[in-house]
């Protein structure tokens, strides 16, 4: 496919509200690779919380507010597998039979998760300027099962010459966040994130990386609650920018 000169960034509400520095790192990294990044300032939420809670009308209203923000035929890069999955796979279902259906299908066809964009659209071969380290990779359930981007995150980390990717126990399992799931079932969610945090720490990795802000907040929150100070996670965009400064 031709290398895109322009792309939209859909920043997601979690990145916007809780870790905007990761969103800025994603933008700076893409721009350093020659992509003009367009960030529609009116963007908000993809509607996933309402949708997965069984409120399609409310989810449609939230999603509808995003539909006019991507008029050019550029890729829409989403630094979250779960939000990307919502836009790519569930928006067409949500708007089936509605006047916006054709526009939604066009948008869904242009949605690409951040790591997949770097790997598949830019074929980025980064120059790793950081010290030798060992990291584990966590992918959200939607990123793994809907978007199949755990493999692209792995591939990007594996292209860093000085980084050893550690495969950890419970790698394919949920961290317990699940959006509103963690609020509706806190005891179950708490047990799940405890297992995930323990597996990551037992892996021998120095830190973990993930391309999903919800998982990152959940796991780092558990580590902080337990008083763990030496082991933390970073968003994949931040990790890649720190390791390379965007250089190929």
Average pLDDT over residues 142-146: 80
CB atoms within 10 A of CB 243: 23
Domain assignments of the chain as residue spans, ordered by start: 6-121, 133-244
pLDDT digits (tens, 9 = 90+) for 153-183: 999 999 999 999 999 888 888 887 877 777 7
Q: How far is Cα 110 from Cα 141, in angstroms, rounded to an integer?
A: 21
Q: Could you tell me the pLDDT band of residue 1, with boundaries at 50, 70 and 90?
A: low
The pLDDT assigned to 37 comes to: 98
Region 223-244: mean pLDDT is 94
Q: Give the pLDDT score at 181.
A: 77
Say what the pLDDT of residue 242 is. 95
CATH of 133-244, one of 3.40.605.10, 1.10.760.10, 3.40.50.300, 3.40.50.1860: 3.40.50.1860
Measured CA distances, 77 to 20, 62, 63, 168, 235 (Å):
16, 19, 16, 28, 15
- pLDDT, position 147: 83
Residue 3 has pLDDT above 80, yes or no: yes
pLDDT averaged over the chain?
92
CB atoms within 10 A of CB 39: 13
Mean pLDDT over 41-56 rounds to: 92
**Tokens 């902080």 map to which residue?**
224
CB within 8 Å of 71: residues ≥ 6 apart: none
pLDDT for 166 equals 96
Report the share of the chain in percent with pLDDT over 90: 74
Q: Report whether pLDDT(247) > 80.
A: no
């Amino acid at each position: 496919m031709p290398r895109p000169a322009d792309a939209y960034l859909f920043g997601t509400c979690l990145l916007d509200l809780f870790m905007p520095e990761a969103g800025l790192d994603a933008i700076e990294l893409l721009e350093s690779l020659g992509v003009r990044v367009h960030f529609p300032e009116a963007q908000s939420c993809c509607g996933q919380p309402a949708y997965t809670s069984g409120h399609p009308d409310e989810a449609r209203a939230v999603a509808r507010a995003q539909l006019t923000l991507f008029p050019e035929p550029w890729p829409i890069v989403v630094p979250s597998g779960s939000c990307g999955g919502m836009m790519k796979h569930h928006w067409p279902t949500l708007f089936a039979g509605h006047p916006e259906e054709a526009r939604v299908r066009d948008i869904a066809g242009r949605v690409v998760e951040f790591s997949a964009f770097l790997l598949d659209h830019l074929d980025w071969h980064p120059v790793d300027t950081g010290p030798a380290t060992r990291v584990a990779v966590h992918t959200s359930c939607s990123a793994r099962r809907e978007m199949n981007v755990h493999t692209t995150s792995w591939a990007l980390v594996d292209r860093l010459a000085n980084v050893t990717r550690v495969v950890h126990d419970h790698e394919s399992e949920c961290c317990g966040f699940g959006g509103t799931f963690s609020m509706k079932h806190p005891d179950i969610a708490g047990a799940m994130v405890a297992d995930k945090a323990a597996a990551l720490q037992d892996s021998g990795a120095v830190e973990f990386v993930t391309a999903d802000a919800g998982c990152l907040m959940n796991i780092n929150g558990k580590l902080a609650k337990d008083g763990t100070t030496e082991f933390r996670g970073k968003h994949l965009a931040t990790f890649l920018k720190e390791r390379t400064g965007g250089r190929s």
